[in-house]
């Protein structure tokens, strides 16, 4: 069986494949490094021992689940005290616990959320903190 216009079809297919894959070719080798959130706030500077409510790796990977669990515990169950793995107790509050130390939302929260293209809905209910330096 003979294919008519085979040359034109093959050229068209090559151009199509090149156009479809061009974003991958242009971005190859241009990966950006993960951002480092700023921990330079007045509250953190004053701390003798610089610790968060949980360990660094836990907070990096599971902070959203923790905040979601806090919300459900406070709103649905009326529980307001969180007991950390080290036994310390904290008030389950984004604004009064987390943002107490991490008051630099733009340099702490936003840099990672923008890098990961994540749009959390924290600020639909909570007041966006004013930057305190």
Average pLDDT, the chain: 88
Average pLDDT over residues 79-84: 96
Average pLDDT over residues 85-111: 92
- CA angle 127–99–56, rounded 5-degree value: 140
The whole-model pTM stands at 0.69
For 23-78, how does the pLDDT look when each residue is reduced to its tens digit (9 = 90+)? 888 888 777 788 888 888 888 999 898 889 999 999 999 999 999 999 999 999 99
DSSP letters spanning 32-60 = PPPP------HHHHH-SS---SS-HHHHH
């Amino acid at each position: 069986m003979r294919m008519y216009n085979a040359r034109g079809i093959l050229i068209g297919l090559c151009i199509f494949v090149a156009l479809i894959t061009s974003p991958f070719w242009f971005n190859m080798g241009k990966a950006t490094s993960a951002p480092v959130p700023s921990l330079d706030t007045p509250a953190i500077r004053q701390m003798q021992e610089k610790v968060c409510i949980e360990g660094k790796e836990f907070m990096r990977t599971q902070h959203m689940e923790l905040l979601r669990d806090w919300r459900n515990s406070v709103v649905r169950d009326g529980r307001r005290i969180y007991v950390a793995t080290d036994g310390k107790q904290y008030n389950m509050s984004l604004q009064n616990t987390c943002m107490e130390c991490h008051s630099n939302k733009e340099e702490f929260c936003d840099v990672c959320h923008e890098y990961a293209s994540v749009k959390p809905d924290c600020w639909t209910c909570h007041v966006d903190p004013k930057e305190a330096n």
